[in-house]
Amino acid sequence: MFRLAQPGGFLAQDSDAVARRIFETNFFGMLNMSKAFAPVLKANGGGALLNVLSVASWVNGSELAAYSASKSAAWSLTNALRHELAGQKTQVLGLHMAYVDTDLTRGFDVQKSSAEEIVQRALDGLEAGADEVLADVLTQQVRQGLAAPRPVYLPQAN
């Protein structure tokens, strides 16, 4: 069983337990890592946190409901940390992407980026001092769709 994602919607019988387990990894794990490293980064002059988010931070269907909710929470955490850590000159980079070819997506019949190209874009963003990296075209389109007259997270007419 995956600790960071599990297929299913919020009305599944076990959704409460699934959501708690996934939030433990994707939200509280990120929170605890940030709290542990913030003083170390401060002592070293600033540094950076790179938080791995997802296009699922912005849209949620019923396939990976708890995972998407945890990524929305992690996105919010990332946005808050960026403000909290600005005073100590710590860069906080949110990395958003759609499908990447890893164990997580094994068996998904969709177009995937390679892990190498996503990491390269993340590191380029880090070097450029960016706040966010939208690492593939689908992610860029979804992000743009948040400002559409009917935003992309609402059901779309066929």
Ligand X SMILES: NC(=O)c1ccc[n+]([C@@H]2O[C@H](COP(=O)([O-])OP(=O)(O)OC[C@H]3O[C@@H](n4cnc5c(N)ncnc54)[C@H](OP(=O)(O)O)[C@@H]3O)[C@@H](O)[C@H]2O)c1
Residue 59 near ligand X by CB under 6 A? no
Q: Sheet of 132-134: strands edge to edge?
A: 48-52, 91-96, 132-134
**Out of 44, 76, 102, 111, which residue is the one contacting ligand X (CB under 6 A)?**
102
Residue 30 near ligand X by CB under 6 A? no
Residue 48 near ligand X by CB under 6 A? no
The C-alpha atoms of residue 138 and residue 52 are separated, in whole angstroms, by 16
The C-alpha atoms of residue 99 and residue 115 are separated, in whole angstroms, by 10
Binding-site residue total for ligand X (CB under 6 A)? 13
**Out of 12, 37, 50, 99, which residue is the one contacting ligand X (CB under 6 A)?**
99
Residue 97 near ligand X by CB under 6 A? yes
Q: Which stretch binds ligand X (CB under 6 A): 42-50, 80-88, 93-101, 149-157?
A: 93-101
Per the rule left: phi > 0, alpha: psi between -120 and 50, beta: everything else, 107 is left
Q: What's the sign of the alpha-carbon dihedral 25, 10, 138, 90?
A: negative
What residues make contact with ligand X under the rule CB under 6 A? 3-4, 25, 29, 52, 54, 97, 99-100, 102-105
